[in-house]
Every structure is written in C-alpha cells, then in structure tokens.
C-alpha cells in the first residue's frame, strides 16, 4: 500500500488510502505514525475486511509528514484542519473518525469545528485527561530535546524518548508538537458534540483518565473498557477492535 502526499495549506501531509466502502479516517497518537498505530496493530486489515475504506494520515511532525519545529504549528485546530483538508482532497463529504491518544484530542477538535462532516467518532486511549490534562508533558519535552538517549533520566520521559527513536521520529519536531498539543477542552465545549461517540480505554491505562468521566460530558457517549490493557498495549487489542466494529455496524447509514 503506497503512501501518498498532499499539501494542507502548504504543509506536506502523508497518508494512506485503501479499501472500498464507507470511509473511516484514522488519526494516530503522539510520537507514532499511521504504520505503527494502525498498520502493525492489525487495524487497517481488520477494517478493510469489514468493508471499510481506510484513510490513515501521518499527523504533521510525525511519520512521513512535514517536520515542523515551531510549537505554534501544532495547535489542535491546525491538526484538525489537516484532517478535514485530507477529506476534501479525497472528495469525502462525511466519514467516521477514530483517533488514539493525541489523535483522540485531534478528533475532538475536528468534531468541534466540522461536526457535520463526521458520522461518528471513536476516542481511543483518552478519557477525562481530555479536560484535566495528563501531566508530565514538560518531562517528556525535556527527554525529547536531550542530546542523546543516555542523557535522559529514568521516568516517563525516557519511555517516550525510546519510543520516538524506535519510530524514527524527529525529536525536536515532537517536542514542539507536545508543547502545543497538550491543549484541553472545557465541559461546555464537549457538551456541543452530538455525533455518536465511543470512548475506549484500557482498564490499566494510567494516562488517559476516566472514560466514564469524559462520557458524562459528551451527550450519548458510550464507553468500552479494554480488559487487561495499559495505554500502549490497548492500541491493537482484539476486544477493542470488536467493540469498534460493533459500534460502527449499529450506526445509521
């Protein structure tokens, strides 16, 4: 499956488009890319077998998309604009959208700005931290900006630095992204979302915050707790996949 590129208001965005059927846009998490988050975990194959058209983007600063180093380039609104321009580029008027972790934040920003373009949203790996914040971001930024992996102190920042190196990421672009993309949402903003919403979080996830707490703020939102999974291992879980497919199948055309 060949990666394609398009210009989102001058920013080069890489994406994969594959399969036939109702479209679903996939937005990956921080320091990841569409291959790691959706390909290696089996999501792309699973959704294609279910008869879906897959659009999986590399968020700016990640994967094969442009590596910008100005934090101002990474507001959630700008990243959501990349997503809607991708749908425009492909001539897709309306799609389901699934984001994981940071991708879930971008999905909410997209819903707030372009709700009419979304049939549903799936928010993976992000609960009440969407409102309260995650904490620890400064430590992660410092780890990404460190001159080497060996210079990073043990802790959450070290884990992110290791993951970023495994995915071949641009450390300074990721640091710039995290400085801005840590934005949160107010309960009042979330209350304006009226598309079908599924929130899926691992029961051992110490990062995302409460799924039920977030669901209480989004009218009609459903919750699926992914059993025996933390923030990283939940991504490709078979129970998570089954719950999403069941949720999508229940939606009206």
Q: How far apart are CA 24 and CA 238, in angstroms?
A: 18
pTM score of the predicted model: 0.97
Tell which residue, 155, 154, 153, 175, has the closest CA to residue 164.
175
Question: Phi/psi at 234 (nearest 5 deg)?
Answer: -70, -25
Distances 168 to 48, 51, 161 between C-alpha atoms, Å: 27, 32, 11
Q: What is the pLDDT of residues 10-50, one digit of tens each?
A: 999 999 999 999 999 999 999 999 999 999 999 999 999 99
How many Cα neighbours within 13 Å face the side chain of 179? 18
Q: Where are the domains of the chain?
A: 4-132+186-249
Nearest-10 Cα torsion for 28, 243, 20, 30? 0
Instruction: Specify the fold of 4-132+186-249.
Output: Rossmann fold (3.40.50)
Q: How far apart are CA 47 and CA 53, in angstroms?
A: 8
Q: What is the pLDDT of residues 70-115, one digit of tens each?
A: 999 999 999 999 999 999 999 999 999 999 999 999 999 999 999 9
156 pLDDT band, cuts 50/70/90, is: confident
């Amino acid at each position: 499956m060949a990666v394609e590129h398009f210009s989102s208001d001058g920013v080069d965005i890489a994406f994969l488009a594959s399969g036939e059927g109702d479209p679903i846009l996939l937005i990956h998490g921080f320091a990841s890319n569409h291959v790691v988050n959706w390909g290696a975990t089996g999501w792309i194959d699973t959704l294609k077998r279910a008869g879906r058209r897959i659009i999986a983007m590399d968020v700016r600063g990640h994967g094969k998309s442009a590596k910008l180093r100005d934090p101002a380039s990474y507001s959630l609104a700008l990243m959501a604009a990349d997503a809607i321009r991708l749908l425009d580029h492909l001539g897709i008027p309306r799609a389901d959208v699934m984001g994981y972790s940071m991708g879930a934040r971008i999905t909410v920003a997209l819903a707030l700005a372009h709700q009419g373009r979304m049939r549903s949203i799936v928010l993976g790996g992000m609960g009440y931290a969407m409102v309260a914040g995650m904490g620890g971001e400064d430590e992660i930024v410092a780890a990404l900006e460190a001159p080497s992996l060996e210079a990073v102190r043990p802790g959450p920042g070290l884990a992110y630095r290791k993951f970023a190196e495994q995915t071949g990421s641009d450390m300074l672009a990721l640091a710039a992204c995290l400085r801005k993309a840590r934005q949160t949402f107010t309960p009042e903003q979330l209350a304006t979302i009226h598309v079908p919403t599924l929130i899926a979080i691992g029961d051992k996830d110490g990062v995302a915050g409460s799924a039920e707490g977030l669901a209480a703020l989004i009218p009609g939102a459903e919750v699926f707790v992914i059993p025996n999974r933390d923030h990283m291992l939940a991504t490709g879980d078979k129970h998570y996949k089954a719950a999403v497919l069941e949720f999508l199948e229940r939606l009206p055309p």
